[in-house]
Amino acid sequence: MNSTKTPLIGMTHSDLVELCYDAGVKPVHADHIVASVFRRYNSDLSSISTIPKTLHSYLAKHISMFEPTCSAEQLAADGTRKLVLQMPDGKAVETVLIEGAKRLTQCISTQVGCAVGCTFCLTATAGLTRNLSAAEMVAEVMAGQRISGQKVSNIVLMGMGEPLHNYQAVAQFLNIITDPKGMAFSPNRVTLSTSGMVPAIYRMLEDKFPCNLAISLNATTDEVRDRIIPINRKYPIAALIQAVREYIQQRGSKRVLIEYVMLAGINDSLEDAHRLSALLEGMHCTINLLPFNPYQGASFKRPDDATVSAFQAVLVEAKLIAIIRKSKGRDISAACGQLITEIKKKR
């Protein structure tokens, strides 16, 4: 990527309308660019036949296109595909494509690394290297579709990074992928997961982010949550739950997703299940129980299946919807950040 030029795939429709004005052509040409690049994945701007010559020369002068290189790929027996994508500056992120019965979900990274420092998360180990730009996140989606040869139907911001620590770029990314004239993902099929940045959750509400919300709750007492998600010391459970309830009240219909990583002997007791039921009482949510995905050097263990089922039963008894998330791609390096770590070790 030429750093003096703006990457086109990081631009929203209204950015492109501005660009048309700057180039002295009619704003309708923004529609043509969006249709060609974001709908038909055309990466050769010079081949767009519906835009005038003046716009072509403007684009050639000011705008760039880039595609990350795929430096590693793993395909699991269940169809889960993991890609390592290298960005123009050489930094790499992971993206995962997960096949479901009627859907193809892509898990997107929002940062290279992460600064939150959750003690059960492999991505946390190396800390934060840098934020991804909106263009780089869009490039993940494009690469996912190009490499898998399939249309992605759902997007989850659950890869490397804390999306709300990269607020502006994530907002821009969401606007680009949900643009009805462009990639046209329904906001209902896009989910942003956060470890609990309370002020940013209120800001998401104000800014009307076009996506669903997922919260990585992962504990039922501040004592445990402080230890495993350091940000809890700043935004404790009560404040987080209040923000989520407010979010639901204002946003209405769609269920919030509550993620709960189960760590053997830490947060998987029946007392935890009862406390979780009380915390979420009457909340319009779905709980995803995620048995810990082990990796080399981890200081946690995955609970056995009976413990996970007993925990789920308590939640169901309390009239909550609780799903045990099957770990997809267990025969490949399934935990987030794992493939990159393996590659680095081999070097």
Interface with ligand SF4 (CB under 6 A)? 114, 116-118, 121, 123-124, 161-162, 195, 216
In this complex, which beta carbon is closest to ligand SF4, that of residue 87 or of residue 261?
261
114, 94 Cβ separation under 8 angstroms: no
In whole angstroms, the minimum distance from the beta carbon of 161 to ligand SF4 comes to: 6
Residue 132-161 contact track with ligand SAH, rule CB under 6 A, x = bound = --------------------------x---
Q: Which of 36, 133, 193, 220 binds ligand SAH (CB under 6 A)?
A: 193
User: Within positions 225 to 254, which residues make up the interface with ligand SAH, using CB under 6 A?
Assistant: none
Q: Which of 23, 132, 257, 336 binds ligand SAH (CB under 6 A)?
A: 336
95 binds, among ligand SAH, ligand SF4, none (CB under 5 to 8 A by kind): none
Instruction: Find the DSSP H helices in the chain.
Output: 13-23, 29-34, 53-62, 134-148, 167-177, 198-206, 222-228, 237-251, 270-279, 305-317, 338-346
In this complex, which beta carbon is closest to ligand SF4, that of residue 68 or of residue 161?
161
DSSP for residue 282: T
User: Cβ neighbours of residue 3 under 8 Å, at least 6 residues apart?
Assistant: none
**The residue type at 133:** S
105 binds, among ligand SF4, ligand SAH, none (CB under 5 to 8 A by kind): none
74 binds, among ligand SF4, ligand SAH, none (CB under 5 to 8 A by kind): none
DSSP 37-97: IIIS----GGG-TTS-HHHHHHHHHHEE----EEEEEEE-TTS-EEEEEE-TTS-EEEEEE
In whole angstroms, the minimum distance from the beta carbon of 125 to ligand SAH comes to: 11
Catalytic residue among 20, 94, 140, 211: 94
Sequence-separated contacts (24+) of 267-271 with Cβ below 8 Å: 267/218, 267/219, 267/220, 267/224, 267/228, 268/303, 268/307, 268/308, 268/311, 270/310, 270/311, 270/314
In whole angstroms, the minimum distance from the beta carbon of 178 to ligand SAH comes to: 19
The radius of gyration of the chain's CA atoms, rounded to the nearest angstrom, is 21
In whole angstroms, the minimum distance from the beta carbon of 29 to ligand SF4 comes to: 39
In whole angstroms, the minimum distance from the beta carbon of 183 to ligand SAH comes to: 21
Q: Which of 169, 211, 335, 339 binds ligand SAH (CB under 6 A)?
A: 335
In this complex, which beta carbon is closest to ligand SAH, that of residue 132 or of residue 290?
290
The count of chain residues that interact with ligand SAH, using the rule CB under 6 A, is 16
User: Within positions 252 to 291, which residues make up the interface with ligand SAH, using CB under 6 A?
Assistant: 259, 261, 290
In whole angstroms, the minimum distance from the beta carbon of 293 to ligand SF4 comes to: 11
Torsion of CA 37, 41, 42, 48, to 10 degrees: -40
Q: Which residue has the tokens 């350091």?
A: 230
User: Cβ neighbours of residue 4 under 8 Å, at least 6 residues apart?
Assistant: none
Minimal CA–CA distance to 45: which of 71, 22, 19, 14? 19
Give just the sign of the alpha carbon dihedral 277, 279, 282, 288: negative
Q: How far apart are CA 52 and CA 41, in angstroms?
A: 20
Structure tokens at 278: 């009380």
Active site residue 336: yes
In whole angstroms, the minimum distance from the beta carbon of 66 to ligand SAH comes to: 24
92 binds, among ligand SF4, ligand SAH, none (CB under 5 to 8 A by kind): none
Q: How far apart are CA 123 and CA 108, in angstroms?
A: 13
Give yes or no for residue 177 binding ligand SAH (CB under 6 A).
no
218 binds, among ligand SF4, ligand SAH, none (CB under 5 to 8 A by kind): ligand SAH
Catalytic residues: 94, 336
Residues that bind ligand SAH (CB under 6 A): 120-121, 158, 162, 193-195, 216, 218, 259, 261, 290, 292-293, 335-336
